[in-house]
Chain A
Amino acid sequence: MRSEKTTSSDAGPAVATLVVMRLYVADSAPNSLKAIANLEAICKEYLQDNFELEIIDVLEFPQRALADGVLVTPSLAKVSPSPAAKIVGDLSDRRNVLQVLGIRE
C-alpha cells in the first residue's frame, strides 16, 4: 500500500494559497517514479511547504482513482484552489505542470 500525505502551512510560501493535489501512480513503475521526482522538484521550488500532496497507488486503490475520473497513471489532479485541473504523464513538461497548478514561472 502506498498512500502518503504531506501537509504543512507554516513556512513562507511562494504561492499564497494552499495547493491541494493528488498524484495517481502505479507502484514504483518508471513513469510513476519520474512523476514523483518531477513533482517534488516543482513543489520544492515553487510551493515550498504550502501544498498538500496525496500520492495514491492505483494498484492498491483502483476504485479511488476511478471515482476521481482517472484513466491512466501517472496523473496529477489539482483539487484546490479551483478550478480543478488534471495533467497526465510523467510531469516532465514543467511549464505545462505549472500552468495546470496555476503557478507563474
Chain B
Amino acid sequence: MSATQSGPLERKFSVPDTGRAAGRAAHVAGERVANGRILRLVKSGPERQALDSGQVDAVLDPASGNAFLLPDARRALFSAGGRIANCLLAALPRKAYQSLLGELEPVTLTSGEVLHKPGERIWHVYFPNDSQVSLLMVVADRKALEVGLVGREGMVGIPLALGADVSSVLALVQGSGSALRMKAASFREALGRCLPLQHEVYRYAHAKLVQARQIAACNRFHLAQARLACCLLLTRDRLRSNQFHLTHEVLADTLGIRRVGVTNAAGALQRRKLISYRRGDIRILNPKGLKAASCGCYEIVRKLAL
C-alpha cells in the first residue's frame, strides 16, 4: 500500500469520470481540469499512496461535492453492466463469490497475448469477461489446431483443478477484452475450501472434454465451409456480437486448414450473403442462414459449453 509507482500520472487520471448517472457527478469539461482537480485533491498522504498502488476506486471532490470514479473502476462497473460478467463466477452463490474477491485481479487481455505455453507451468488462471482465449494444440512442425475456445462462459487453467500444474495447450488471446485472474496457488486453495467453485469448475471441465471430442470428430468428418460457419457462430455467441475480428491465420489454426482454405470457405459464405469478411473484420449478416450452413456440432457445443 505504501509502494510508490513510477508510472505516468497523466495516464492514470487522464479520463474524466462523468459519473454513472449524469446527475450524480458533475461533468468535467477537459482532461486537464479533471487531472488538476484530482491531483490537487490527493497530493500527498496515505490517500496518495493508495492511489499510486492502484487501491483506489473513486476520489471525492469537496468543491463540487461529487465522487469521481477512476478509469479502472469505471470500466469494471460499466463494461459489465455492474454484473459479474464471467458466467462461471456468476453461477456461484454470492457469499462464495465474495470469498474469492480478495484473490481475483482484474486484467486486460490483448489479442495475440500468450497466457499459457505447452509444457510450461501455469501461474495464473483466467476468467474472461468480454475477452476470448483460444486453446491450441501445437504439433512438432509448428502447426497448430484449436481444441477449445474460452470466453465469458468459462476459465483458462483447468489442468490445475485436475491435479496438473503444467499446460498441455497454447492459450492464446484471440479477442481483446477484460478478465479476472487468480494466482495458481490461490485457485487451488479456493477450490479446496469453496465447494460451489469446485462444482462449477468440474462441470465446466466436463463440458470442455466433450467439446474437445466433438471438435475432433468435426475436424475429421465435416467440410471447411460448415466448420467455419460453426466457428463464427460460436465466436458470436461468446462475444455476444455479430461483428468481430478474426484473421486468416487465427481461422486457419482454429479449423486446422491452410489459409487458402479459409479464403475459399469465407468466400463461399460471403457469396451466399451470410457474412461479410474484409481483412479479418467479420460481420454476420444472416445468423439463421449461417446456422443452416453450419454443421450440427454448433448446437451440440453451444448447449454443452455456453
Q: Please report A residues at the B interface, Cβ cutoff 8 Å.
A: 25-34, 36-38, 40-41, 58-59, 62-63, 65-66, 70-74, 86-90, 92-93, 96
Contact = CB atoms under 8 A, between A and B. Distances in A.
Contact of A58 (B1, B67, B102): B67
B77 A72 contact: no
Secondary structure at the A interface, as helix, strand, loop or mixed, is mixed
12 contacts: A26-B73, A31-B56, A31-B57, A32-B73, A33-B98, A58-B58, A59-B19, A62-B60, A71-B42, A71-B47, A73-B58, A88-B46
A37 B106 contact: no
Given A72-B47, A89-B56, 9 more contacts: A29-B73, A34-B101, A58-B60, A62-B65, A71-B41, A88-B46, A88-B47, A88-B56, A92-B55
What 4 pairs between A and B have smallest CB-CB spacing?
A: A29-B57, A29-B73, A26-B58, A89-B55
Interface string B53-67: 111111110100111
B42 to A, nearest CB: 6
A27 B101 contact: no
B82 interface: yes
Interface in B149-194: none
Given A59-B67, A88-B50, A30 B72 contact: yes
Contact of A66 (B46, B62, B98, B102): B62
Given A59-B67, A62-B65, A66-B60, A30 B106 contact: yes
Nearest to A61: B67
B102 A37 contact: yes
Interface centre among B49, B58, B101 (most CB of A within 10 A): B58
Contacts of B25: 59
Interface centre among A66, A86, A92, A93 (most CB of B within 10 A): A66
A25 B1 contact: no
A28 B83 CA distance: 9
B77 A28 contact: yes
B24 interface: yes
Given A72-B50, A88-B50, A62 B56 contact: no
Interface string B92-112: 000000110110001000000
A88 B41 CA distance: 14
Given A59-B20, A59-B24, A59-B58, A30 B50 contact: no
A38 to B, nearest CB: 6
B60 A70 contact: yes
Contacts of A41: 102
Nearest to A73: B58
A34 B103 CA distance: 8
A55 B57 CA distance: 15
A74 B102 contact: no
Nearest to A74: B57
B77 A29 contact: yes
B73 A31 contact: yes
A29 B67 CA distance: 13
Contacts of B51: 72
Nearest to B98: A37
B69 interface: yes
B24 A72 contact: no
B99 A37 contact: yes
A66 B41 contact: no
A74 B47 CA distance: 10
Nearest to A65: B60
